[in-house]
Structure formats: structure tokens, C-alpha cells
Structure 1
């Protein structure tokens, strides 16, 4: 039997016992879970070893009814429910890309404090949670070599002290130095970015932490703008790239699988979607039958939005603004020319 099935069944047993104060027999529990009474008995033995006070009473006829105190999870010493265990399990995995940094170290300290209060059997039990909830990650960044930089930036932001940094600019193709007032760090799709006022540029800039080669805190204080909020700073962006210009309204029509993918998720705070009825064509009375969705966004920077749109291929079409349509046409023509050219030797 898969480990995940066993974990879920045992937590389901706890939930059943807690919700039914009158108790349940092994037979009732076995029937509801589709297993044998002996399996339920073994599950109870495992749960008892983990610290759960699963116990039974016996009626006048000798029939046993198994119970769990209804307020156990509120009043008991540290025993994690399934939801709590999975939440801690997920947090550990989600912080793995930040291994070696103060953030991951802080979570590890919390985890160790919790684990020190759990029975050995419970620790072994929770290791099987990968079969219940698995965290799939690709394209991870290793931050272990940048732990010192992250600590310097975090402390400088907390203490309102400027930092001197050396930065490898992707767009400039060169390394430069600047004094930065660090407003805070942003974690976006597994990558850390510093947001702060660059004295060299005379404006707020965003720096990818892995491209900061050196960072040292200075004694120079700074005052963070009263109305500055990191969340508000990125409100009109589709990712991490930000433009100082005003947001523009973008209308995109999605068809086929893309329509469903866009509708089932909020991709941006400004997103509004509308299902469109199939329109008759010269060739088909009711159109091609594919679902059509029209989505509207208000964004100030379109660099990352264009990459996202192109990922849907022919199932996405920008309706307006016309300037964005023309930019995409030019970029798609360039891509087509690459694929139409002679295949280079392997």
C-alpha cells in the first residue's frame, strides 16, 4: 500500500474519532475506510506511539468503542494535525532554494524546536508526507553563496543604512558600482530581488541578488519614502520588471485550452475576463466550437507580459493596443525566420 494512502487514512481516523464523541467500533471504522479491522488496529497502535490518546471504552456487552478527546488538538501538548504537518512540510520544501540564508535558517530553527517536542515515531511518520504532497520545482537558484549578501541587505534595510554594491548588469553587459538605499527584498518565482533607491540612477531600481557581487553596509542613513509600499510598487507590473509610465489597458482573446487556463487562475490583480459566444463564420454556422475568452489587463510594463502571451502560441491574440500587436508581430516574424533558416550543423 502506498505510504501516502496510509498517512491519509490514519489522519482520517483521527478526524472521525474527534467528530463523533460517542465513539466508533473497529468494524464501523474498517467499513468506512475500506480496510480490515486488523489494519485499523495497527493504525491505532501507530497513532498511540506518536502521542495521540486514542483509547476505547467497553459497553455492557463487551463491545469496544474507540474515542479521541474532542478538544485534543486545542488543549494537548504539541501534536501536529495533518494540515499543520503538511503546512510545515511545504514550508520546508518551498524554502529549500534559500538554503544557507537567514530566511531558511530561521525556518530550520522553528522546525527543530517543533521536532524536539515530537515523539521519534512522529518524526518518522512525517517523513512520509512527500507521498501526500510533493513539491515540484525546476530552475532553482542556489543562494548558499549569497547568504552574506542577503544578510547585509536585510540588516541595512531594517536599520535604514545605505549599502555600497557592485552589480553585474544583464542589460548593460557590464559591472558597475552604486550606493543604494535598500527598501526591501522581493521573492519572485524563486528569485530574490533588492528594491531600493540607486544614487547612481537617481531613481528606484531593482537588483537581482545573485548579480550583486559585493555589498557592504555604510554608516549613511536614509529615510524610506513615507508612502512607499513594496506591494504597491509592483501593482502595475506583470512580474518583476517595472516601468515608470502609466498603465495601459490590454485586451487579449484566448481560445481552446488557453481560455480555460487563463480563466481558472488570477494572473494579475487587474485581470477581468469575459466568455464570448461562438460567432458564425462563412464556413461554419456556429464557429469552430472552441471556447473563447476575452481578458483585460492594466499594466505599465509589457516585457514579461509579452513572454507570457507568446507561451500560448496561436491560442492567444492581442486585440489592443495596436502598438503591442505590432511589437508581437515583429518578434514572432523574427522567431519564424530563425526556424525557416537552414538548420545549423549539430
Structure 2
């Protein structure tokens, strides 16, 4: 039996089970079907053994249909939710499903296609008609500009999905980003998540008793064992990610960064850290203070603003910026980059 028809049958049973019963007109309206389809549903219920009867109600033009009272006591308390999606719900669902470019060409892509097909089969009416789909396509664009490439990683991703779901211990070969060297690690895979066009994995490293984040694209081999593990407590991935600047898990650092008026427009309306505080200045510039982890990530971010951002403190990160500028001057000898060594924070 088609999934969409099952939902309609269950909703019809729900309406027929109510003390006041229901009318054919009400069934037409609630189920979004024709009068003829309602009577076909009645035939299906008869074949399934649901005893129904009709009764005249004084003052009403239409008969009411109900299930027999003694049969109702055998049924569970049926309350079928309304599966019809509003326009806004469809928009949000489409936006979520449209952010799947990171999984293109991987084992996850056919799973997403299967989810779409199953949603279409159980939703009353059209889940996404051609007109709706075209309309939604005109409202949203996939936002992942530079997704990681996972071609050839199908087996690794499938194994990770199973390992995370079943809490299985794994061994992986992993390439370090800084050196390019590969090492083997025994891991407890905790959570998969998507970030900035890439797929990442929270893991527990038993040898170091630490939680780390691995980039799936840098896993070259994986083997799953029959041994299971217990998730560490407390483990709150949302809390961890809200206190990292990018994805580097390290000791927290408190930074103060001054942005020019031009850069401030791009900074003030974003959430960079759960601890961030903005201080506006009369010249339109902005100071950001936050405690977060990932010093390397912060340095790269600030350098991306060029002369429109300056680390005021700590001194160690300011020195890192100066080192980077020295390397830039060596790379581009005919261009002078500079930063004042000991400029204090302005109060504005």
C-alpha cells in the first residue's frame, strides 16, 4: 500500500473514532480527496475489518459516520498529526535539503535522494510539485562555495556512519594538516557534522584521553572493530563548537581586535564566539573582545582583513601577525606591509 494512502487511512480512522463521528464532506476536506475517493476509503476500511455505521443527526443535512462503539475499545488512542506542510515549512525543508553539495558523489547522496522520495510518498498531496520546486529553487541557492571533495571516500563515510550509530571502536590513518604525515589512531567516533563545506568527526582518543575533531577528507583508511565504547560524560558538541573560533580545540585565549569602519560592517552582525562583546567607537570603528580557542584560526582570520583589522592583545598573537607580515614583505619585496608594534587599544 502506498505510503500516502496509509496516512489518509489512518486520518480517516482517527476522524471516524471521535465521539461525534464525521461526515463525507469533512473527510473530503481533511484528507484533500474527492467524494468518490472517500467511498473508496470506506471500501478499504471494510476490507480491513473496521466496522462502521452511519446515523442521521437531527438538524443536519448530512449523515455522520462512526466506528462501532465496542470496536473502539480495541483501538489505541489514535491521533494522527497533520502532515501537510505550510509554505514556510516547505521553504525551510528545501533549504536544508539544498545544502547537500558537500555530499555530492558520496554514499550519502543516494541516502538524501531516498529521503526526498520517502517524504514525497508519505506527505498528503504533493510534497513538492514541479511548480513548487521551481518556485523554491528561485528563492534559495546552495551556499557552499568551496565544498570538500569526497570522491573515493564512499567506504570511509559508510563505515563512519555505522561506527557512530553503533558506538564501535575504529582505527584510522589520518594525515596531519601541518606536516602532511600520516599516523594511525585508535578512535571512538562520537559525532559527524558539516562545517564550511566539509565533513568533520568528533572523536575521543583513548590513548590521550582527549576529544578532537578530524577532517573526514584527511582520513585515508578506516577499520571498524567489534568492540564498543561508552560516550564520555559530559560531552556536549554544541557547547564545544560555540567556544572554538573555527574547529581548533585548544586552550582558550582572550583576544581584543580593532576593526575599521569598513570592516566593522562585516563583523558586527555575526556570532563569532559565545563570549563575544562589541564596543562601538565614535569614528565608526569597532572593537571585538572574545575568549575562544584556535590561535592559528584567529591569526588567519585577522590577516584576511588586511589593514582593516588589528589585534590589540594578547601580545603573543600580535607578534604572530608581525611575523606573518615579515614573510609577506619577503615574498613581495616591492610592497611594504607594516604594523605598529605596541599600539594600545583605543577607548573610542
Is structure 2 residue 184 aligned with structure 1 residue 177? yes
Q: Residue 154 of structure 1 contacts residue 184 of structure 1 at CA under 8 Å; is this kept in 2?
A: no
CA drift at 1:121: 9.0
Is structure 2 residue 158 aligned with structure 1 residue 165? no
Is structure 2 residue 229 aligned with structure 1 residue 229? no
CA drift at 1:213: 1.3
Is structure 2 residue 263 aligned with structure 1 residue 270? no
Aligned equivalent of 1:304, options 297, 302, 307: 297
Distance 1:129 1:169, change over 3 A: same
Distance in 1, matches of 2:215 and 2:259, equals 32
CA drift at 1:224: 2.0
The DSSP-based 3-state class of the residue aligned with 1:182 is strand
Equivalent residue number for residue 110 of structure 1: 115
TM-score by length of 1: 0.66
Distance in 1, matches of 2:247 and 2:105, equals 24
CA drift at 1:101: 4.9
Q: Note the alpha carbon deviations across 1:155-194, whole angstroms, 9 max, x for none.
A: 2223222101112222232222221111222321121122
Aligned equivalent of 1:338, options 327, 331, 334: 331
Is structure 2 residue 245 aligned with structure 1 residue 252? no
Q: Residue 101 of structure 1 contacts residue 151 of structure 1 at CA under 8 Å; is this kept in 2?
A: no
CA drift at 1:266: 1.4
Distance 1:232 1:102, change over 3 A: farther
Equivalent residue number for residue 67 of structure 2: none
TM-score by length of 2: 0.66
Is structure 2 residue 321 aligned with structure 1 residue 316? no
Q: Residue 119 of structure 2 contacts residue 127 of structure 2 at CA under 8 Å; is this kept in 1?
A: no
Is structure 2 residue 203 aligned with structure 1 residue 196? yes
Q: Residue 115 of structure 1 contacts residue 123 of structure 1 at CA under 8 Å; is this kept in 2?
A: no
The DSSP-based 3-state class of the residue aligned with 1:296 is strand
RMSD: 2.9
Distance 1:302 1:164, change over 3 A: same
For structure 2, list consecutive stretches of 5 or more residues without a partner in the other structure: 1-31, 35-79, 336-348
Q: Residue 102 of structure 2 contacts residue 197 of structure 2 at CA under 8 Å; is this kept in 1?
A: yes
Matches within 5 A, 1:1-346: 80-99=85-104, 101=106, 103-116=108-121, 117=123, 118-119=125-126, 122-199=129-206, 201=208, 203-243=210-250, 245=251, 247-278=252-283, 291-340=284-333
For structure 1, list consecutive stretches of 5 or more residues without a partner in the other structure: 1-50, 54-74, 279-290
Bigger radius of gyration among the two: 2
Distance in 2, matches of 1:261 and 1:143, equals 31
Distance in 2, matches of 1:276 and 1:189, equals 31
Distance 1:203 1:81, change over 3 A: closer
